[in-house]
Homo-oligomer: A and B are copies of this chain.
Amino acid sequence: MNQDKAVMALAALAQDTRLSVFRLLIKAGPDGMIAGALADAMAVPPSTMSHHLAKLEQAGLVLSWRTSRLIHYAADYAGVQALLTFLMADCCQGDPRACADLLSAIVCDRVGVGACS
Protein backbone atom coordinates (compact mmCIF):
# COMPACT_ATOMS: atom_id res chain seq x y z
CA MET A 1 0.00 0.00 0.00
CA ASN A 2 1.13 3.52 -0.77
CA GLN A 3 -0.40 6.97 -0.75
CA ASP A 4 -1.70 6.86 -4.34
CA LYS A 5 -3.32 3.47 -3.93
CA ALA A 6 -4.84 4.55 -0.63
CA VAL A 7 -6.37 7.61 -2.30
CA MET A 8 -7.81 5.35 -5.00
CA ALA A 9 -9.29 2.99 -2.42
CA LEU A 10 -10.79 5.80 -0.38
CA ALA A 11 -12.22 7.45 -3.50
CA ALA A 12 -13.76 4.13 -4.47
CA LEU A 13 -15.54 4.00 -1.12
CA ALA A 14 -16.48 7.69 -1.08
CA GLN A 15 -19.66 7.26 -3.09
CA ASP A 16 -23.03 6.16 -1.85
CA THR A 17 -23.72 3.23 -4.17
CA ARG A 18 -20.18 1.91 -4.02
CA LEU A 19 -20.00 2.11 -0.24
CA SER A 20 -23.28 0.20 -0.04
CA VAL A 21 -21.96 -2.46 -2.41
CA PHE A 22 -18.75 -2.77 -0.45
CA ARG A 23 -20.59 -3.16 2.84
CA LEU A 24 -22.93 -5.69 1.31
CA LEU A 25 -19.94 -7.69 0.12
CA ILE A 26 -18.26 -7.41 3.52
CA LYS A 27 -21.41 -8.91 4.96
CA ALA A 28 -21.75 -11.51 2.24
CA GLY A 29 -18.38 -13.07 2.99
CA PRO A 30 -15.90 -14.84 0.74
CA ASP A 31 -18.48 -16.32 -1.66
CA GLY A 32 -19.51 -12.84 -2.71
CA MET A 33 -22.44 -11.95 -4.94
CA ILE A 34 -23.33 -11.90 -8.64
CA ALA A 35 -22.99 -8.62 -10.56
CA GLY A 36 -26.63 -8.65 -11.60
CA ALA A 37 -27.79 -9.27 -8.04
CA LEU A 38 -25.78 -6.25 -6.91
CA ALA A 39 -27.38 -4.08 -9.60
CA ASP A 40 -30.81 -5.29 -8.48
CA ALA A 41 -30.00 -4.74 -4.80
CA MET A 42 -28.93 -1.15 -5.47
CA ALA A 43 -31.63 -0.46 -8.08
CA VAL A 44 -29.21 0.84 -10.71
CA PRO A 45 -28.81 -0.23 -14.36
CA PRO A 46 -26.21 -2.90 -15.07
CA SER A 47 -23.89 -0.49 -16.88
CA THR A 48 -23.82 1.84 -13.90
CA MET A 49 -23.10 -1.03 -11.54
CA SER A 50 -20.36 -2.26 -13.84
CA HIS A 51 -18.63 1.12 -13.65
CA HIS A 52 -18.82 1.06 -9.87
CA LEU A 53 -17.58 -2.51 -9.56
CA ALA A 54 -14.67 -1.76 -11.88
CA LYS A 55 -13.66 1.14 -9.68
CA LEU A 56 -13.85 -0.96 -6.53
CA GLU A 57 -11.84 -3.73 -8.15
CA GLN A 58 -9.19 -1.37 -9.51
CA ALA A 59 -8.90 0.05 -6.01
CA GLY A 60 -8.09 -3.40 -4.62
CA LEU A 61 -11.20 -3.59 -2.44
CA VAL A 62 -13.09 -6.32 -4.26
CA LEU A 63 -12.13 -9.18 -6.51
CA SER A 64 -14.10 -10.96 -9.19
CA TRP A 65 -14.26 -14.29 -10.98
CA ARG A 66 -16.43 -15.76 -13.66
CA THR A 67 -18.48 -18.95 -13.51
CA SER A 68 -20.10 -19.45 -16.89
CA ARG A 69 -22.13 -16.35 -17.66
CA LEU A 70 -22.13 -15.01 -14.13
CA ILE A 71 -19.50 -12.76 -12.62
CA HIS A 72 -18.98 -13.01 -8.88
CA TYR A 73 -17.70 -10.12 -6.79
CA ALA A 74 -16.41 -10.47 -3.23
CA ALA A 75 -14.68 -8.20 -0.73
CA ASP A 76 -10.89 -8.40 -0.90
CA TYR A 77 -10.08 -8.68 2.78
CA ALA A 78 -6.35 -8.38 2.24
CA GLY A 79 -6.89 -5.12 0.38
CA VAL A 80 -9.06 -3.72 3.15
CA GLN A 81 -6.47 -4.74 5.71
CA ALA A 82 -3.73 -2.97 3.76
CA LEU A 83 -5.81 0.21 3.59
CA LEU A 84 -6.71 0.29 7.27
CA THR A 85 -3.15 -0.48 8.30
CA PHE A 86 -1.88 2.33 6.10
CA LEU A 87 -4.38 4.80 7.58
CA MET A 88 -3.28 4.10 11.13
CA ALA A 89 0.46 3.75 10.44
CA ASP A 90 2.70 5.30 13.07
CA CYS A 91 -0.30 6.37 15.09
CA CYS A 92 0.92 8.62 17.90
CA GLN A 93 4.44 7.58 16.94
CA GLY A 94 4.00 4.23 18.68
CA ASP A 95 2.87 5.77 21.94
CA PRO A 96 -0.58 4.20 22.25
CA ARG A 97 -2.14 7.13 24.06
CA ALA A 98 -5.13 7.15 21.76
CA CYS A 99 -4.42 4.43 19.22
CA ALA A 100 -4.56 1.31 21.36
CA ASP A 101 -8.00 2.20 22.67
CA LEU A 102 -9.18 3.07 19.20
CA LEU A 103 -8.04 -0.15 17.57
CA SER A 104 -9.06 -2.51 20.33
CA ALA A 105 -12.51 -0.91 20.35
CA ILE A 106 -12.92 -1.76 16.67
CA VAL A 107 -11.85 -5.31 17.28
CA CYS A 108 -14.10 -5.65 20.32
CA ASP A 109 -17.13 -4.83 18.20
CA ARG A 110 -16.64 -8.23 16.57
CA VAL A 111 -16.82 -11.64 18.18
CA GLY A 112 -14.04 -14.03 18.98
CA VAL A 113 -10.97 -11.89 18.48
CA GLY A 114 -9.99 -11.75 22.10
CA ALA A 115 -8.19 -8.44 22.59
CA CYS A 116 -10.87 -7.07 24.85
CA SER A 117 -10.78 -6.11 28.50
Q: Which residues of A contact B (CB under 8 A)?
A: 3-4, 6-7, 10-11, 13-16, 19-20, 22-23, 26-27, 29-30, 75, 77-78, 80-81, 84-85, 87-107, 109-115
- Judged by DSSP, the binding face of A is helix
Query: What residues of chain B lie closer than 8 Å to A104, measured between beta carbons?
Result: 107, 113, 115
Q: Which residue of B lies closest to A86 (CB)?
A: B23
Query: What residues of chain B lie closer than 8 Å to A90, measured between beta carbons?
Result: 23, 26-27
Query: What residues of chain B lie closer than 8 Å to A114, measured between beta carbons?
Result: 115
Q: Top 8 A-B pairs ranked by shortest CB distance?
A: A115-B115, A10-B14, A11-B14, A77-B98, A29-B92, A14-B14, A10-B13, A81-B102
